[in-house]
Amino acid sequence: MIQYNPKTWFSLIIHSYSRHVMRTLLPAFIFMTLFTLLVCYLILDHFKLEPHEFPGTTTVHSLLGIVLGLFLVFRTNTAYDRWWEGRRNWGGLVNSTRNLSIKLNAYLPADRQADRAWFAKMIPNFIYATKEHLRAGVQLTELEAPDDTFTETMKHVKHKPNSIVSMLYKRINQLYRDQVITGDQLINLDKEMKDFIDLLGACERIKNTPIPYSYSMFIKKFIFIYIITLPFGFVTTFGYFTIATVLLVTYVLLSIELIGEEIEDPFGRDINDLPTDQLAGRIKENITEILL
């Protein structure tokens, strides 16, 4: 995720992300340039039609533009809602891990260094496993093994965050059986453990529930129809300047759709995705400081 100052207009205008968008949309720009050039050549030079013979009009595009604008606003807002909900869930993970660590620090005696070290590794392991679980898959090299069997166990588990939470529950329950913590303290710790699963499930819901197919398909179809018919509306008015006009409209519409596509899944590594790598590192630092 990019850190930026929203008040610096010039640096935002020339930011490298704009060049990234241009590279992504380059095939569409090349196609629309060639297509518009062909339309201009056929109407203006080949058939040599006059404005009264080919009365181009932008009235239809003006009316369709209102509808298309509403679609794009709804599309962008829906994608941003998913992005913001993902950020709220990760904020909840930050708070829950801190609360759990603070409570364990208060409940565990100072001489239980083995337990403290175990939780100092396993709580961040859950966060790192969750981070990569929401991407392509958990990287075992990011997890810090608290014992000799941990890595081998993780290799045979499909849903690794669930397995780590299960280990945390078992360890906390064993502390209760050993009378290291009381029943009331066990109940207090259960809230944060339950939050782990709830917040993970909320992130999985965002990840596994994309924008409905028909909605995504039709908005792309509307954008395509809109820009592919633009040259016919402008050609007799603007001449070959129609190419620049069409490219400008294409850039605006496609870049808005591109932003929506990028932020609707906020857990990846795109430039606008959530900074889950930094958040995971910060959580690990906080937990280590509290427990050790």
Number of domains in the chain: 2
- Is there a domain that residue 100 lies in? yes
Residue numbers in the chain where pLDDT is lower than 50: none
Domain match, 142 and 227 both? no
Residue 57 pLDDT: 67
Domain match, 157 and 285 both? yes
Domain match, 105 and 160 both? yes
- Is there a domain that residue 64 lies in? no
Domain match, 158 and 284 both? yes
> pTM score, two decimals?
0.89
What's the rounded Cα separation, in Å, for the pair 130 and 146?
A: 18
What's the rounded Cα separation, in Å, for the pair 228 and 108?
A: 68
What's the rounded Cα separation, in Å, for the pair 115 and 105?
A: 10
Residue 59 pLDDT: 78
Residue 61 pLDDT: 83
Domain match, 29 and 106 both? no
SS (H, E, C) 37-64: HHHHHHHHHHCCCCCCCCCCCCHHHHHH
Domain match, 149 and 282 both? yes
Three-class SS state of 4? coil
Domain match, 148 and 43 both? no
Sequential DSSP letters for the chain: -----TT-HHHHHT-HHHHHHHHHHHHHHHHHHHHHHHHHIIIIIIS---TTTS----HHHHHHHHHHHHHHHHHHHHHHHHHHHHHHHHHHHHHHHHHHHHHHHHHS-TT-HHHHHHHHHHHHHHHHHHHHHTTT---GGGS--SSTTHHHHHHT-SSHHHHHHHHHHHHHHHHHHTTSS-HHHHHHHHHHHHHHHHHHHHHHHHHH--S-HHHHHHHHHHHHHHHHHHHHHHHHHHGGGHHHHHHHHHHHHHHHHHHHHHHTSTTSSSTTS--HHHHHHHHHHHHHHHH-
pLDDT in tens, 81-120: 999 999 999 999 999 999 999 999 999 999 999 999 999 9
Q: Are 36 and 243 in contact (CB under 8 A)?
A: yes
Name the E strands within the chain.
none
pLDDT in tens, 86-95: 999 999 999 9
Host domain of residue 100: 85-209+276-291
Domain match, 198 and 92 both? yes
Instruction: Please calculate the CA angle 186-189-190 and round it to the nearest 5 degrees.
Output: 85
Domain match, 51 and 136 both? no
The token duo for 224 is: 């395509």
Residue 107 pLDDT: 96
Question: What one-letter code names the amino acid at 292?
Answer: L
Residue 52 pLDDT: 56
Cβ burial of 243 (10 Å; 0-12, 13-18, 19+) is buried
- Is there a domain that residue 1 lies in? no
Three-class SS state of 181? coil
Domain match, 141 and 163 both? yes
